[in-house]
Structure 1
Amino acid sequence: MKRLTPMEVELKLALAPSGPAALIQHPHLASHTARKQSLTNTYFDTPQGDLAKARIALRLRQVDDQVLQTVKTAGQGGGGLSQREEWEWQIAGPELDLASIAKLPPFQGELSGVLDALAPQLSTDFTRRSWQLKEGAKEQESHIELVLDEGEIISGGYRTPIREAELELKDGEPEALWALALTLAEQVPLRPSDSSKASRGNALSTQQWLLPEAHSPAEWLHRATLALDAYHDSQQASFLGNAQQALATLADHPALDGTARGYAQVLPSALDKHGQPNTAYGKAALALAHRLTYQTALR
């Protein structure tokens, strides 16, 4: 049966090498049992990359004896937080259900003509641990699924590690995502990530990582985050330089208020020489991203 999720709200966090162990051992999760699964995922696109250009991901996921087909649109947001449309349903076998895909809104326009050209383009294989958490006071309780993914992306003959956590809001208010992320950041070395597994795989295949122009504080934080994502997948030192430059510009941005500036000034020195965050980076980056998101919402 098809499950329609009009809007998926999640916070994505990239973890330092010591992050997964620290997350599993975090006291906030001590009373919760994790579910562990091995997930095999294949992403489809045309040879010309029509879905990637439209920022749409089409995926088949093997979970135990089930095959799930998922379509996701581009995430809107920054600082790790994104909102996007998602459609997911179980299908009978390992072949795409093109008839159902054709009925979805993203495929009603120009993309309606590319369905027959879809073919496997990249894969992501990883182990997932997931926790179902109830956060907040009883009268305002939110349901959050926390997942820890460890594995790799394989695309165009290249490979790159997956080491990330995702906090998905199942029910409640987005504020609960920020609160939980900040709790985890107290002991887990992490940073916000703005790159999906599909977008990472597409960039890996083409060996092209594009950084957006930036003007506002939120845009500079987004640029720094994408540059760090690109550095860890490409191992090109220029992207680490781009990230540091963006963070330095952000720290001196005239539009920041005093509190936000204090968070921003922590960031440049809270990355090690390999571009990995310590806990100070995670706490400051999340607090800053939350403040910038809140200020944007008020405008």
Structure 2
Amino acid sequence: MKTPNPMEVELKLALAPEGPTALTQHPRLAAEPARLQTLTNRYFDTPEGDLAEARIALRLRQVDGQVLQTVKTAGQGGGGLSERQEWEWPVAGPQLDLASLAELPPFQGELSGVLDALAPKLSTDFTRRSWQLTDGLAIPGSANQSSHIELVLDEGEINSGGYRTPIREVELELKSGEPEALWTLALMLAEQVPLRPSDSSKASRGNALSDQHWPLPEADSPAEWLHRATLALDAYHDSQQARFLSDAQQALTTLADHPELEDTARRYAQALPSGLNEYGQPNTTYGKAALALAHRLAYQTALG
């Protein structure tokens, strides 16, 4: 079994409809070679949804003539940034490798008894353009002056429970170096690309779509209000239920007035409500402010 990256650190960004074109034309990518792939993915769970309940994603992916089996745990973080465990290895065909699954930490304990009940739950099919970026990602003052980030642009759709929703997102995955490089690159892209942080994985979006249920967390701190707004926007675009756009705007307004924000963070927060159009799509002002605020809140949390 291969475990090349047991801990995945990535920043997920949702794009406005014009975002993919703006991204590919961005000076940081225009001169870089891109790899084009078609990915067909099937996610598995029990009929009772045991993996979704445990916030574990299990998929089989067909790409480049082979089948890969992947397990991911829930991401820890917010503002688009997540850190989670990941295991991936090739399998012989379109059937789950249950023996190897049983050896993984997520399938010890209570989940050890669900393996025989696993069945296909949803699919995500998309084209992927990917870039390997190393130049211009050095962090001033850092002991490690080099970073390697894989940038992927995914376009396609999620099909779950008879419902469909588009995929139009960017993932910045840290291959080597420091997480600070992810923020540096994302803020550089946001100067010209209409985007916003997203806190919802493809698997979690598919599960919510099938269940037609998008729960939003309670919020108290600034980071929690930003997370709630981000999830509400994710829910709005997948559900097309206007109440989620209202929830997002209410969360952003509450965030902008939050007494715990210091002056710089408050300026970023105050720019957010007007940075969304009537369809809940971000402009570049929203993307820059949301990323800068998420970065600042993450830094403050790290300092304790």
Q: Same fold (TM over 0.5)?
A: yes
Q: May I ask how many residue pairs the two structures share in their alignment?
A: 299
Pairing of 1:165-184 with structure 2 (within 5 A): 165-184=170-189
Pairing of 1:149-188 with structure 2 (within 5 A): 149-188=154-193
Root-mean-square deviation over aligned CA pairs: 0.9
CA shift digits 1:85-141 (9 cap, x unpaired): 000001111100000000000000100000000000000000000000004349611
CA shift digits 1:29-78 (9 cap, x unpaired): 12211000000000000011000000000000000211000000000000
Deviation of 1:6 (Å): 2.3
In 2, Cα distance between equivalents of 1:137 and 1:212: 36
Question: Could you tell which deviates more after superposition, 225-234 or 138-147?
Answer: 138-147
Match of 2:237 among 232, 239, 252: 232
Matched residue of 1:160: which SS?
A: strand
Q: Unaligned 5+ residue runs, structure 1? A: none
In 2, Cα distance between equivalents of 1:192 and 1:30: 22
Aligned to 1:264: 269
Pairing of 1:54-73 with structure 2 (within 5 A): 54-73=54-73
Q: Unaligned 5+ residue runs, structure 2? A: none
Match of 2:148 among 136, 139, 143: 143
1:3 aligns with 2:8: no
Match of 1:291 among 293, 296, 299: 296
Pairing of 1:1-299 with structure 2 (within 5 A): 1-134=1-134, 135-137=136-138, 140-299=145-304
Match for 2:24: what amino acid?
I
Kindly indicate whether the alpha-carbon contact (under 8 Å) linking 2:79 and 2:199 is maintained by their aligned counterparts in 1.
yes
Matched residue of 2:272: which SS?
A: helix
Matched residue of 2:22: which SS?
A: helix
In 1, Cα distance between equivalents of 2:30 and 2:119: 43
Match for 1:78: what amino acid?
G
Kindly indicate whether the alpha-carbon contact (under 8 Å) linking 2:137 and 2:184 is maintained by their aligned counterparts in 1.
no
Deviation of 1:4 (Å): 4.2
TM-score normalised by length of structure 1: 0.99
Match for 1:195: what amino acid?
S
% identity of equivalent residues: 82
In 2, Cα distance between equivalents of 1:179 and 1:250: 24
TM-score normalised by length of structure 2: 0.97
CA shift digits 1:163-190 (9 cap, x unpaired): 0000000000000000000000000000
Kindly indicate whether the alpha-carbon contact (under 8 Å) linking 2:199 and 2:230 is maintained by their aligned counterparts in 1.
yes
Match for 2:154: what amino acid?
D
In 1, Cα distance between equivalents of 2:296 and 2:288: 12
CA shift digits 1:172-213 (9 cap, x unpaired): 000000000000000000000000000000000000000000
In 2, Cα distance between equivalents of 1:94 and 1:233: 28
